[in-house]
Structure 1
Amino acid sequence: MAAHRTDHPRRLASAAVMVGTDGSEAAGRAVLWAAEAATRHRRELHIVHGLDLMAASSTLGLYDVTVPGVLENIRRRGADYVAAAAALARTVDPGLPIRTEVSEADPSRLLIQRSGTAHLVVLGASGQSSAFAHLGSTLLAVTAHGRGRVVVVRGNATDQGSHSALPVVVGVDGSRTGDAAVAAAFAEAAERATPLIAVHAWSDQRFDHLLGYPNAISNPDVAAAAQAVVAEQLAGWDEKYPDVDVVRKVYLSGPRHQLLEWSKVAQLVVVGSRGRGGFRGLLLGSTGNALVQHAHCPVMIAHTEHGAR
């Protein structure tokens, strides 16, 4: 089990679950998920909205923004967004401690900066986007550059009712960011009292799709090597979380395909911010990209502490 610092600000009891809102339906789903998470973690919920006055000035013209009443209207709309989000969060837990913030900053910069001390950051996404950029610049920026754990709430998924019996799924790839994902996944599975499915694909290629290769690993040496990767990355965590039932699933290839399939029957999928073979400058890997675009349940991107600045 990799060593992890215990004194990091996001692990303090005062670290909040943070959620961004822009008044959209997708943001509302994120607020519900975040409120459930804050209740489960016994943490404050911090609801934030960035006004992005610089962008507003570019869109409306500097003169228009300085006209009396225009700036006040922009601020009032932001205040309405966070007030509505707070009211929605209280439908989950009327006693939940909630803090709201309306900032003049760009929302992506605001969330990235706050992610350094937040317990986790939650954002909403809707639809099955065919292009990652269609999910929005804020979502793109925060999932790639955020620190700690960033959750993207997809589709109609929340964390309630029938979803509570579903497992947590984690992508295991032997990388350092894989260590961060495993740590986050065990904690989530333990808090939810649900099984953990550890998924590993030996090859990044979709051989099963492109060449008709079988999903299972037939070569015993390759199978043993794949199992060894999983065993090494999970080592020690079963001792720390003895009540978590872990199921290991090893496939020949296609990590994106395997995790997307598992997302159909999971309440949360957890992956590292950049997997094995990822370029140093690529802050969100191809598997994370695919899940954020197409997963059938919420996705947690676990960034390593090394990325904190």
Structure 2
Amino acid sequence: MSDPIVVGVDGTGRSVSALVWASHEASLRESPLRIVHTLPRYEGDIPFFPPGRFEIAEARGHQIMDEAVSLAGEVNPDVQISTDLPMTTPAGAMIAESEQAQMIVLGAKGEDIGNVLLGSTVLQVVGHSPCPVVVVCHVTTGHHRVAVGTDGSPDSAAALAFAFHEAQLHGSQVMVISALGLPQGWPTHLLLPVPTDNEEVAARRQDVEKQIAALREQYPDVEVVLDVHRIAPLHSLVEASHRSDLLVLGSRGRGGFHGLAVGSVTHKMLHLTGCPVAVVRSAP
């Protein structure tokens, strides 16, 4: 049996969107679906909540899980479903699950109690999960496009491989984005036209073609479009996210501080994206 697609649920709308997305993905991959909802923790004999509150949260947790299982079964009856209601921290639960998962799927926002979907939790899971993490905010369909950013880093190479596989599963086009950035000190507030350096753009296109050459051979039926321009990476990715059904990014790029678990561009895209975002880390 293949490793599962793991999704965190908490009963909110974004959680439901994540569940539906994960269920479809499990069906396409012919993989089991594992649904996780965390319960409040106890430390010794002292609960984190006043007397009676844990029992309420536990009952609510079982209700959320029952509803999630029912919905997932309706969406894709062929998918095998397992569940867990761990009494642990939300981030800890999902990071532990990530060790044996194909991917983790999370909604962008959630509740305060029993929640695996708060922004801080999402960042912890994205930053420490060894498997891809998909964050579902806005669900889009009909674009038939998977967008992926690359800067030549190991994580972006892993993102490219993930994007091509997703595109084949979904019968979608792959848009490979590589933004050269604006010239240093360029006065963006003046709205001046960006100078075009055709030689530099052409050289970058050649680099990108080398990066994806093996993937073109591995996935010959996947249509590939290159988007290589002198533009700010964040702007290019945001624009692409509104014209795609999935955006794939490496956890970290070439710049920034190596001690950070998530790169600055990826971090910002989790807040600005117009479609689900998959964050992929290269193998250690």
Same fold judged by TM-score > 0.5? yes
Residues 93/74 of structure 1: CA separation in 2 closer, same or farther (3 Å cut): same
Q: Cα 1:53–1:121, aligned 2, differ >3 Å: closer, same or farther?
A: same
> Match for residue 279 of structure 1?
257
Alignment of 1:101-180 (within 5 A): 101-125=84-108, 135-155=118-138, 157=139, 163-180=141-158
Distance 1:282 1:167 in 2: 30
Moved more, 199-208 or 46-55: 199-208
Contact 2:47 2:54 in 1 (8 A): no
Question: How many residue pairs align between the two structures?
Answer: 276
Structure 1 distance, partners of 2:187, 2:67, is 47
Q: TM-score, normalised by structure 1?
A: 0.82
In 1, are the aligned partners of 2:144 and 2:171 still within 8 Å (CA)? no
The AA in structure 2 aligned to 1:102 is L
Unaligned runs of 5+ in 1: 1-12, 128-133
SS across alignment from 1:23: coil
**CA 1:213–1:112 in 2, change beyond 3 Å: closer, same or farther?**
farther
Partner residue in 1 for 2:49: 60
User: Higher helix fraction: Structure 1 or Structure 2?
Assistant: 1
The one-letter amino acid of 2:204's match is A
Query: RMSD across aligned C-alpha pairs, in angstroms?
Result: 2.4
Shift, 1:126, TM fit: 5.0
Counterpart of 2:9 in structure 1 is: 21
Distance 1:286 1:191 in 2: 29
Q: 1:224 aligns with which of 194, 202, 205?
A: 202
1:47 deviates by 0.2
Aligned residue among 85, 95, 113 for 2:68: 85
Q: Which amino acid in 1 is paired with 2:205?
A: Q
1:181 maps to amino acid: A
TM-score under structure 2 normalisation? 0.89
Gap change, CA 1:211 and 1:174, over 3 Å in 2? farther
Please state how far the C-alpha of 1:115 moved relative to its aligned partner.
Answer: 0.6
How far does residue 279 in structure 1 lie from its aligned partner after superposition?
A: 1.6
- Residue of structure 2 equivalent to 1:74: 57
Aligned-residue sequence identity (percent) comes to 35
In structure 1, what is the Cα distance between the partners aligned to 2:99 and 2:182? 31
